[in-house]
């Protein structure tokens, strides 16, 4: 398994500063999440990436991206995998279809299996999965069965809080967060078998790149001592 620091673009994430950090720390390989940037902002984002990063193996697609953006990542950064949410394949841009074998569907509530069968595989977001199981929206068996049916290609990792918050217009209960305050907020990962982890595990957090590097080392240690920690933590 390979863990990648992530450049997120949500409201609480200073993506320009993250790119500066990556350049200063001489990090050559990252995952990117341009999903909260409009087309004009993405232009600046891509320019800064070109000046600072060598390889971006994994990208979260936004549904208004056109095929030239997909091809930009493939040609410039040797991107091998993309992900999108269910039903976010751009319906007005059929040119996406020629890249479907490297686009993976991310879990958010349920997978759309009709769509999933025509894509490259699963992007398993650990935090969405854990949150859905904790709140009773999905049983663990749902994920066990679907991961037997479709190839797992990539992962997202965020934090799970001890206390829930209400999110969205429907005030849905959630424990997931894109900001980590304490390293123990990724302890939940030890509950999942190692085969749930892919070669492209992207940290999807608003934390600084330096902090993300600490998180990655913590996760590696968690998984290395998984059996012992399961007994102690859970």
DSSP H helical ranges for the chain: 15-24, 39-52, 67-77, 113-116, 126-134, 140-149, 209-224, 226-233
The pLDDT of residue 210 is: 98
- pLDDT value, residue 61: 94
33 close to 58: Cβ distance less than 8 angstroms: no
The pLDDT value recorded for residue 231 is: 62
Task: Say how far apart CA 147 and CA 197 lie, in whole Å.
Answer: 11
What's phi and psi for 163, nearest 5 deg?
A: -115, 145
**Do residues 140 and 133 make contact, with C-beta atoms less than 8 angstroms apart?**
yes
Q: How many CB atoms lie within 10 A of CB 106?
A: 20
Pairing of strands 103-106, 121-125: parallel
- The two tokens of residue 120 are 């490259």
Q: What is the pLDDT of residues 173-189, one digit of tens each?
A: 999 999 999 999 999 99
pLDDT, position 131: 96
Task: Note whether 64 and 90 are within 8 A (CB).
Answer: yes
Tell me the Cα Rg of the chain.
17
pLDDT tens profile 40-71: 999 999 999 999 999 999 999 998 898 999 99
Domains and CATH numbers, the chain: 3-233 (3.20.20)
Residue with tokens 């809080």: 161
Q: Which residues of the chain have pLDDT under 50?
A: 91-92
- Secondary structure class of 62 (helix, strand, coil): coil
> Can you tell me which residue has the tokens 């994994």?
58
- Classify residue 211 as exposed, middle or buried by CB count within 10 Å of its CB (0-12, 13-18, 19+): middle
CA distance 104 to 57: 13
């Amino acid at each position: 398994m390979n863990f990648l620091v992530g450049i997120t673009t949500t409201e609480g994430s200073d993506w320009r500063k993250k790119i500066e950090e990556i350049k200063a720390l001489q990090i050559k390989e990252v995952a990117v999440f341009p999903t909260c940037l409009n087309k004009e902002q993405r232009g600046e984002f891509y320019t800064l990436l070109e000046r600072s990063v060598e390889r971006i193996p994994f990208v979260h697609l936004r549904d208004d991206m056109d095929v030239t953006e997909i091809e930009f990542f493939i040609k410039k950064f040797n991107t091998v995998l993309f992900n999108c949410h269910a039903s976010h394949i751009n319906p007005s841009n059929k040119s996406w279809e020629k890249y479907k074998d490297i686009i993976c569907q991310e879990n958010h509530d349920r997978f759309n299996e009709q769509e999933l069968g025509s894509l490259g595989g699963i992007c398993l977001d650990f935090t969405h999965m854990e949150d859905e199981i904790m709140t009773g929206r999905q049983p663990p068996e749902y994920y066990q069965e679907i991961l037997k049916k479709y190839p797992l290609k990539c992962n997202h990792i965020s934090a799970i809080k001890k206390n829930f918050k209400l999110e969205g217009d429907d005030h849905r209960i959630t424990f997931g967060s894109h900001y980590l305050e304490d390293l123990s907020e990724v302890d939940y990962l030890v509950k999942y078998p190692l085969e749930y982890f892919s070669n492209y595990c992207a940290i999807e957090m608003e934390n600084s790149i330096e902090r993300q590097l600490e998180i990655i080392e913590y996760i590696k240690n968690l998984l290395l001592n998984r059996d012992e920690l399961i007994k102690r933590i859970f």
